[in-house]
C-alpha cells in the first residue's frame, strides 16, 4: 500500500473498525495513518466505516501520525484532482 500511494495526490484506504475492534483483513485508524504518512501522500480519504465507528475518534487517531489533509468519506463523495 505504501508504494501504491507514494507521493499520491489522494490515497483512499478503508478503515472499517476502531483500533480496539480491528478485525483481520481491515485497517484500523492507527495503521491507516501510518500507511499514509509513510507513503507521503498529499491527502487521505478513509472509507468503509462499520456502524461502531466514532468518526471523530478515527479522525483524531489518524491525525496522531498523519499530518496531511484527511477526509472521511460519505456516500457519493467526489474529488477534483
* Residue 26 within any structural domain of the chain: yes
* Residue 34 within any structural domain of the chain: yes
Report whether pLDDT(13) > 80: yes
* Residue 39 within any structural domain of the chain: yes
Mean per-residue pLDDT over the chain, rounded? 94
* Residue 31 within any structural domain of the chain: yes
* Residue 64 within any structural domain of the chain: yes
Q: DSSP letters along the chain, please?
A: -HHHHTT-S-EEEE--S-GGG--TTS--HHHHHHHHHHHT-SEEEEE---TT--HHHHHHHHTTT--SEEEE--TT-----
Query: CA-to-CA distance for 51 and 3, rounded, in angstroms?
Result: 30
The tally of domains found in the chain comes to 1
* Residue 81 within any structural domain of the chain: no
* Residue 24 within any structural domain of the chain: yes
pLDDT tens per residue, range 42-70: 999 999 998 778 999 999 999 999 999 99
11: phi then psi, degrees, rounded to nearest 5? -115, 125
* Residue 11 within any structural domain of the chain: yes
What pTM does this model have?
0.90
Q: Which domain holds residue 41?
A: 2-72
Amino acid at each position: 500500500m505504501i508504494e501504491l500511494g507514494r507521493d499520491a495526490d489522494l490515497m483512499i484506504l478503508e478503515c472499517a473498525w476502531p483500533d480496539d475492534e480491528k478485525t483481520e483483513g481491515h485497517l484500523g485508524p492507527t495503521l491507516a495513518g501510518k500507511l499514509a504518512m509513510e507513503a507521503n501522500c498529499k491527502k487521505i480519504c478513509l472509507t468503509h466505516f462499520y456502524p461502531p465507528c466514532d468518526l471523530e475518534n478515527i479522525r483524531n487517531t489518524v491525525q496522531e501520525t498523519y499530518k496531511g489533509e484527511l477526509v472521511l468519506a460519505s456516500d457519493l463523495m467526489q474529488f477534483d484532482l
